[in-house]
């Protein structure tokens, strides 16, 4: 598959970081793919603890670590000089360096020279693969579910990962398909859809969720919102190319305006469902909504229960907060709708 592919297992590098807030990437990888993580590495002064064994580069090489993943996001998105010796050492041991920072690894001469010398890779997950095709719109085997949102940052990645986890626990044939940088580092593969030239987004989405067994589900990480004045083009291309059989609307409870676009009122969940079906039918006439995922972190437990119950009655679909109660209601409805066992 023509996607970014990471070599496992991983060493999560958190450098000199002292704030958990700036180590969310590393924490996310550990939360969802702990089995792929051999250890973590802090530099002098770093205090972030991801709950993994501490390792040196030498120990990582002896443990056959495939990738050192930069699990922090520094202000400005650069690679500090204090990291350079460690990253070069990893490359010379044959360990790939993986990053989602703004500074391209391949633009740093010392890293490029070390990679050329050892054959290890510099993997910038913000850079999409080359020679992506234009979308074909052809139907392909397998089933697909896309998470969509009323806004950006509405829980699309978390919902998709939670669904994959809960579906696998039920013995279902399912894979999370990553379309964003952090998702790629969690999944170990994917395409950064928001970095793809717009003409090729639907083609990239087709590659992201290729033909599969008839009962297999791809759970595709959504991006942006088809109502967003800045990012709708990405969302539209992903919807067209994914050809989802099902979708889940992700929403933040009591949100009123798009974050950062305070002059834009959020669409209603009903509007998102109707518009997604209208557009999605262009490439999959059977597209349907199977529920809503709501971030209720701003509500009390009683408010949460009332909010979800009332919303479910309004739209006649299951509504859950996956962080608080999992995705079981969504999966039950999905199985009933698609006659899965």
Kindly state whether residue 289 falls inside one of the protein's structural domains.
yes
The answer to whether residue 301 scores a pLDDT higher than 70 is: yes
Q: Please check whether residues 329 and 229 belong to one and the same domain.
A: yes
Categorize the per-residue pLDDT at 1 as very low, low, confident or very high, splitting at 50, 70 and 90.
very low
- Last residue of some domain: 89, 124, 159? 124
The overall average pLDDT reported for the chain is: 93
Q: How many helices (H) and strands (E) does the chain have?
A: 12, 15
Q: Using CB atoms within 10 A of its CB, is residue 104 exposed (0-12), middle (13-18) or buried (19+)?
A: middle
**C-alpha distances in Å from residue 103, one per residue of 42, 124, 242:** 21, 9, 30
pLDDT for 26: 92
Kindly state whether residue 99 falls inside one of the protein's structural domains.
yes
Cβ neighbors of 301 (< 8 A, separation 6 or more) are none
Length of the chain: 341
* Number of domains the chain is built from: 2
Q: What is the dihedral of CA 184, 190, 193, 199, to 10 degrees?
A: 160
CATH of residue 150's domain is 3.40.50.300
How do residues 127-155 score in pLDDT, each as one tens digit?
899 899 999 999 999 999 999 999 988 89
Residue 122: φ, ψ to 5°: -105, 110
Q: Please check whether residues 94 and 147 belong to one and the same domain.
A: no
The answer to whether residue 75 scores a pLDDT higher than 60 is: no
Count CB atoms within 10 A of the CB of residue 258: 22
Q: Please check whether residues 86 and 199 belong to one and the same domain.
A: no
- Cα–Cα distance measured from residue 154 to residue 327, given in angstroms and rounded to the nearest whole number: 16
Kindly state whether residue 241 falls inside one of the protein's structural domains.
yes
Q: Please check whether residues 110 and 157 belong to one and the same domain.
A: no
**What distance, in Å, lies between the first and last C-alpha atoms of the chain?**
29
- Cα–Cα distance measured from residue 335 to residue 52, given in angstroms and rounded to the nearest whole number: 36
pLDDT for 16: 84
Of 230 and 281, more confident = 281
pTM, entire model:
0.89
Q: Please check whether residues 312 and 177 belong to one and the same domain.
A: yes
Domain range spanning residue 47? 4-124
Q: What is the average pLDDT across 97-112?
A: 91
Q: What is the average pLDDT across 37-50?
A: 93
pLDDT for 77: 63
Question: Which single residue is written with the structure tokens 């959504």?
Answer: 222
Question: Which single residue is written with the structure tokens 């994914």?
Answer: 242
CATH of residue 72's domain is 3.40.50.720
Q: Please check whether residues 101 and 165 belong to one and the same domain.
A: no
Q: Per DSSP, which regions of the chain are E strands?
A: 4-5, 10-15, 37-42, 67-70, 96-99, 122-124, 143-149, 174-177, 189-190, 217-220, 246-252, 257-258, 261-265, 288-295, 319-320
pLDDT for 100: 87
- Cα–Cα distance measured from residue 202 to residue 234, given in angstroms and rounded to the nearest whole number: 9
pLDDT for 207: 96
Q: Please check whether residues 287 and 148 belong to one and the same domain.
A: yes
Kindly state whether residue 236 falls inside one of the protein's structural domains.
yes
Q: Please check whether residues 303 and 154 belong to one and the same domain.
A: yes
Q: Please check whether residues 151 and 104 belong to one and the same domain.
A: no
Q: Please check whether residues 218 and 92 belong to one and the same domain.
A: no
pLDDT for 341: 45
pLDDT for 186: 93
Q: What is the average pLDDT across 18-37?
A: 89
Q: What is the average pLDDT across 28-53?
A: 93
Q: Please check whether residues 112 and 220 belong to one and the same domain.
A: no
């Amino acid at each position: 598959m023509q996607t970014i592919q990471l070599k496992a297992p991983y060493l999560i590098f958190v450098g000199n970081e002292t704030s958990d807030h700036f180590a969310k990437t590393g924490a996310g990888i550990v939360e969802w793919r702990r089995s792929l993580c051999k250890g973590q590495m802090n530099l002098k002064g770093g205090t972030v603890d991801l709950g993994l064994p501490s390792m040196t580069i030498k120990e990582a090489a002896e443990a056959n670590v495939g990738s050192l993943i930069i699990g922090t996001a520094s202000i400005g998105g650069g690679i500090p000089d204090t990291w350079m010796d460690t990253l070069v050492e990893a490359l010379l041991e044959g360990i790939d360096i993986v990053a989602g920072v703004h500074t391209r690894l391949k633009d740093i001469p010392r890293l490029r020279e070390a990679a050329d010398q050892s054959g290890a890779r510099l993997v910038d997950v913000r850079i999409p693969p080359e020679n992506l095709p234009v979308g074909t719109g052809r139907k392909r085997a397998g089933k697909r579910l896309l998470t969509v949102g009323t806004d950006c940052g509405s829980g699309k990645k978390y919902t998709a990962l939670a669904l994959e986890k809960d579906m696998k626990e039920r013995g279902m044939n399912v894979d999370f398909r990553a379309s964003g940088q952090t998702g790629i580092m969690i999944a170990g593969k994917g395409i950064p859809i928001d970095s793809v030239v717009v003409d090729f987004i639907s083609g990239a989405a087709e590659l992201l969720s290729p033909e599969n067994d008839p009962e297999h589900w791809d759970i595709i990480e959504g991006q942006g919102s088809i109502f967003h004045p800045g990012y709708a083009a990405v969302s539209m291309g992903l919807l067209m190319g994914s050809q989802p059989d099902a979708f889940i609307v992700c929403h933040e409870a009591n949100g009123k305006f798009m974050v950062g676009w305070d002059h834009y009122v959020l669409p209603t969940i009903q509007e998102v469902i109707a518009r997604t079906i209208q557009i999605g039918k262009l490439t999959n006439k059977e597209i349907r909504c199977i529920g809503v995922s709501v971030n209720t972190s701003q509500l009390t437990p009683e408010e949460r229960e009332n909010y979800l119950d009332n919303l479910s009655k309004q739209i006649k679909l299951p509504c859950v907060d996956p962080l608080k109660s999992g995705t079981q209601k969504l999966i039950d409805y999905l199985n009933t709708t698609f006659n899965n066992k």
